[in-house]
Amino acid sequence: MTATVAVPHRRRRPDGVRIALTVFSTLVFVFLFLPIVFVIAHSFTDSNAWLVWDGFSTRWYGRLFDNENLKQVIRNSLKVAFFSTIIATVLGTLAGVALARRPGKWTTPFLVIVFLILVTPEIVDAIGFLIWFVEIGSVFSDGIGPFTGGEVRLWVGQSLFSSAVVTLIVRARLAGFDESLEEAAADLGATPARVFRQITLPLIFPAVLAGALLAFTFSLDNTIIASFVSISGSSTLPVYIFSSVRSVPKPDIGAAATLMFALTIVALALVALVLRRSGESTEQVAATLTGG
């Protein structure tokens, strides 16, 4: 009733608010993409400085593969991101399931800690890690097995924040489902481990995947904690870029950034596709990807 009355009424006059909002939003999108367009464009500069445009050339993409330092830090970054993602995802998934399915007196203090982790400025975490790693030494100075102490520090340092994020995403996802499926499986004689593997895990899979992707990107992106805890040889791409900012950044950084950007888009698209397949609506996919 309301709709049939309201629609013709609103159609009659041109909607100024709608037009203004559309124009404004378009401008915001321009603002959002302006720097990205420039990053990609300038990775094709012929100049020796990334920030200066001097004609078109693809030579910096070739140079990228000759720069041993840059290759090394990219490798370090990917390796650290891989391990810290595993840590964050495992911790976050377990804790998220526990929060959604086994709440109790422990929930409030736990959530307080998670919240504090989320709101602590990164610089504070960074100095805390530095102090603590120096204090306890051992694996954080000598490393374990093939991994150096610097790497282990980075795994730990970069998984803290993401594990809290994964915890909340998984909890939110599982809280949306009734526990009856798990109970039914248990009543039919499934062991807790089997219930977890065959019922709980498939239910929370989209959240785990989105959380892992977030954790991976956070880790690739992390500058502050990485510059405090990394030891020479284990430093990562953002630390390398940040130190080059003080001098003149070379365009191969832009080339590396463009390739990473392409990689991120592919990863995002893949995850969105997987989530779509598992029956999520576009908005749910977007909400999950942004941790909502």
Partner 1 sequence: MTTATVAAASPTRRRRWVPRFALSVPSWVWYLFFFVIPIGYIVFYSFGYKPGLLEGGGTIATDKLSLANYGDAFDETFLTVFRRTLEVAVLGTLLCLLIAFPLSYWLATKVAPKWRGLLLALVIVPFWTSFLVRTLAWRIVLAQDGFLSNLLVDVGIRDSQLSLLDTRTAVQIGVVYNYLPLMIFPLFVALDRLDPALREASKDLGAGRLKTFTQVTVPLAMPGLVAGLLLVFIPLAGDYITASVLGGAAGNMAGALVATQFLQNQNWALGSAMAIVLIGTILVALLVAAALGLLGRTLIRRRRSVEVVVST
> What residues between 219 and 248 interact with partner 1 by CB under 8 A?
220-221, 223-224, 227-228, 237-238, 241-242, 245
Nearer to partner 1, 38 or 65 (CB): 38
Residue 85 CB, shortest distance to partner 1, in Å, is: 15
Asked if residue 125 binds partner 1 (CB under 8 A), the reply is: yes
* Residues of span 159-188 touching partner 1 by CB under 8 A: 160, 163, 167, 179-180, 183, 186-187
**Chain length of the chain:** 292
* Residues of span 193-222 touching partner 1 by CB under 8 A: 217, 220-221
User: Token digits for 61?
Assistant: 């993409």
* Residues of span 42-71 touching partner 1 by CB under 8 A: 42, 50-51, 53
| 233 dihedral zone (left: phi>0; alpha: psi -120 to 50; beta) | left
Nearest to 286 by CA among 275, 278, 277: 275
What pairs with residue 147 in β-bridges?
144
Nearer to partner 1, 82 or 265 (CB): 265
Q: Determine which residue in the list 30, 69, 82, 124 makes contact with partner 1, applying CB under 8 A.
A: 124
Q: Determine which residue in the list 65, 69, 75, 123 makes contact with partner 1, applying CB under 8 A.
A: 123
> Which of these ranges, 61-69, 88-96, 143-151, 203-211, lies near partner 1 under the rule CB under 8 A?
88-96
Size of the site for partner 1 (CB under 8 A): 96
* Angstrom distance (rounded) from CA 256 to CA 78: 13
Alpha helices per DSSP H over 107-179 = 107-119, 122-136, 139-142, 149-175
Asked if residue 84 binds partner 1 (CB under 8 A), the reply is: no
CA distances from 259 to 7, 161, 254, 280 (A): 48, 26, 9, 29
Q: Determine which residue in the list 176, 192, 202, 233 makes contact with partner 1, applying CB under 8 A.
A: 192
Under 8 Å CB-to-CB from 114, ≥6 apart: which residues? Answer: 95, 164, 167, 168
Residue 146 CB, shortest distance to partner 1, in Å, is: 22
* Residues of span 244-273 touching partner 1 by CB under 8 A: 245, 249, 253-254, 257, 260-261, 264-265, 268, 272
Nearer to partner 1, 72 or 223 (CB): 223
What are the helix and strand counts (H, E) for the chain? 15, 0
Nearer to partner 1, 76 or 163 (CB): 163
> Which of these ranges, 57-65, 93-101, 143-151, 203-211, lies near partner 1 under the rule CB under 8 A?
93-101
| 275 dihedral zone (left: phi>0; alpha: psi -120 to 50; beta) | alpha
* DSSP state for residue 45 in the 8-state scheme: B
Nearer to partner 1, 4 or 146 (CB): 4
* Angstrom distance (rounded) from CA 250 to CA 244: 8
Asked if residue 143 binds partner 1 (CB under 8 A), the reply is: no
* Angstrom distance (rounded) from CA 12 to CA 125: 57
